[in-house]
Amino acid sequence: MNHFAYHKGVLHAEDVPLAAIAESVGTPTYVYSTATLTRHIRVVTEAFGDRPHLICYSVKANSNLAILRLIAERGGGFDIVSGGELARVRHVGGDAGKTVFAGVGKTQEEMEAALAAGILLFNVESAEELEALDAVGRRLGRRAPFALRVNPDVDARTHRYISTGLKTSKFGVPFEEAVALYARAKKMKGLLAAGLDCHIGSQLTQTAPIRAALSKVAGLYSALKEKGHPLAYLDVGGGLGITYLDETPPSPEEYARTVLAAAGATGATLILEPGRALVGNAGVLLTRVLYRKKTPARHFVVVDAGMNDLLRPALYEAHHGLQPLVKRRGKAVEVDVVGPVCESTDVLAKARPLVLPQAGELFAFMSAGAYGMSMSSTYNSRPRPAEVLVDGAAWRVVRERERVEDLWRGERA
């Protein structure tokens, strides 16, 4: 569910007409809905009922400080993959004690900062990382709490670029090596085995892969407990999908039933790492039509947002709905909506039926709250978009549009 809807033919974010934001702030601009985000947090939390669990929002999905603060104020934790994300979480008052640190390439400097901050858990992804974390723990005189991320070799049935649970993936340690690694860690004075972790991919739309992976991991968790490892947390990862076009992902309630059926008997406190499921449908990207162009093969509509602003279509061949901010009657034609970036892959919407727009008309790319702004860049020396947060009838800029001068800040001619 989201709070972007038409009222008398005008697309609104909650009670605010999006065209008013576009005219005031300019385009391209990301707009987020407070009501949508907070509802998603509540629904996911309620789905797990009184089962001990912790929601750790995946910061990489959208790391805007205003988004992070909303989550922290509602008692949420965080899933981070860099020292920079830890700094963002701490800046908004997020609790490091409700934060897990994932990622295959943590530096020892990042480990030290996280351990000193009181991180809940390091999700360790290789034997050598385990040794590095032990060295950090001994150097700081602390036992670093960790969970091994195991790779269950389960096909997530999602896009190949966001499938992370197969043997060919760079993520996690092979399932069959986990017992030996926990045994090694037991002899390391800088480590404390606090949990077990698994994550098989993103934009998951079926429960079968989730059930298969967590059943294996739950069995391993119980076996490790029997061997005397003081585990308390079972991190089941994230990846719950959303609807971009015609996907039918599990509801939060169905997802919770699947997780609890597979892992509920362990007695562990469950850690959940939703990102897209919370923020994906809570954001849109506003853009303005620049030109129209017709060739013998195509109708093109050129807009001022490009692949540097919204990378997912170029990177994943991803679909984002496209809605005019003001509805217009007329006969639809099939068009390719393209951006100004000097790349053939800068196609944001391919073969879409649209009433052919005029230059200056405004559109919204829907479901752009996750992996939109967080993956944006300044490619072609294009300043990154502004970001706006709507709350009821009020709205505010939560990130100013970059200026041209910002593009070379820190450079020397």
- The binding site for pyridoxal 5'-phosphate consists of 239, 273-276, 371
Beta strands in 295-403 (DSSP E): 299-303, 322-324, 332-338, 347-355, 362-365, 386-391, 394-399
Which residues touch 122 (CB under 8 Å, ≥6 apart)? 100, 101, 106, 111, 114, 133, 144, 145, 146, 147
Can you tell me the distance from the alpha carbon of 280 to that of 213, in angstroms, rounded to the nearest whole number? 24
Q: Which residue has the tokens 């926990």?
A: 182
Can you tell me the distance from the alpha carbon of 260 to that of 397, in angstroms, rounded to the nearest whole number? 40
Beta carbons within 10 angstroms of residue 161's beta carbon: 11
Name the helix (H) or strand (E) containing 361: none
Beta strands in 179-278 (DSSP E): 191-197, 233-235, 269-272
Binding-site residues for substrate, in ranges, read: 276, 312, 316, 343, 371
Handedness of CA 102, 104, 110, 115 (dihedral sign): positive
Burial classification of residue 297, based on how many CB atoms lie within 10 Å of its CB (0-12 exposed, 13-18 middle, 19 or more buried) = exposed
Binding-site residues, in ranges, read: 239, 273-276, 312, 316, 343, 371
Q: Which of 208, 253, 229, 212 is nearest to 45 (CA)?
A: 253
Residue-wise burial string across 78-112, b where 16 or more C-beta atoms lie within 10 A, e elsewhere? bbbbbbebbebbbebebbbebbbbbbeebeeebbb
Q: Which residue has the tokens 């034609």?
A: 333
Q: Are 215 and 262 in contact (CB under 8 A)?
A: yes
Which residues touch 292 (CB under 8 Å, ≥6 apart)? 299, 300, 301, 302, 356, 357, 359
Can you tell me the distance from the alpha carbon of 315 to that of 346, in angstroms, rounded to the nearest whole number? 10
Q: Which residue has the tokens 């702030």?
A: 25
Catalytic residue (choose from 1, 245, 297, 342): 342
56 catalytic per annotation: no
Residue-wise burial string across 333-344, b where 16 or more C-beta atoms lie within 10 A, e elsewhere? eebbbbbbbeee
Burial classification of residue 233, based on how many CB atoms lie within 10 Å of its CB (0-12 exposed, 13-18 middle, 19 or more buried) = buried
Q: Which residues are catalytic?
A: 342
